[in-house]
Amino acid sequence: MSCRAPIPVIETERLILRGPRDADLPAYAHYFSTPRADFTGGQRDEADSYGMLMKQAGHWHMRGYGLWTIEYRESGATAGWTGILHNHDWPEPELGWTIFEGFEGQGLAHEAALAARSFAAARQRIIAPISLIVPHNARSAALATRLGARIERPFELHGTACNIWRHPDGTEAAA
């Protein structure tokens, strides 16, 4: 595929969803050095964390959509990521999210994921994405429920059992 348009920027009340930057590496490297990264492909060293930043940027160019870096507007800090991704061996596009340490419990993941899902429906024609969530990831399951998603069926991804959660039609929220 050829290169697509630049990564759009979305602003919410407390957040800026934007493309990844080199300056995000310390926050990504810290996240990937913790067991929390086990829900997003496993722990990595700094070089592999940088590879994730590059992968996220490249996804936009290959698919025309991808993951935004979540920037906390008040401080400019890198707070996580959210958006739509669709790896070659996944059943369909997924709405994903990750909130970094220190930003949990504030509703930021909900705010970011809702903005990403609405944008995907309005601008990218991704109407009712899935989320792939392992059963023991209670936080992501709770957020998926809060976003109106429901378990559709079990699925196995790279040897790991997970559930496919189906999000509601996002065109109403995007209108």
Q: How far apart are CA 173 and CA 24, in angstroms?
A: 30
What domains are there in the chain, each with its CATH number?
10-126 (3.40.630.30)
Q: How far apart are CA 88 and CA 132, in angstroms?
A: 14
Using one digit for the tens of pLDDT, what is the confidence trace for 69-112?
A: 999 999 999 999 999 999 888 899 999 999 999 999 999 999 99
CA 129 to chain centre: 12
Place of tokens 């990564």: 7
With contact defined as beta carbons under 8 Å apart, do 154 and 161 qualify? Answer: yes
Residue 115 phi, psi dihedral angles, 5° rounding: -65, -45
Using one digit for the tens of pLDDT, what is the confidence trace for 3-35?
A: 556 899 999 999 999 999 999 999 988 877 866
Strand order in the sheet with 130-133: 10-11, 15-18, 67-72, 78-85, 94-99, 130-133, 160-166, 150-157
Those residues whose C-beta lies under 8 Å from the C-beta of residue 24, and which sit 6 or more positions away, are 53, 69, 78
Residue 173: pLDDT over 60? no
Question: How many Cα atoms are found within 13 Å in the side-chain-facing hemisphere of 110?
Answer: 14
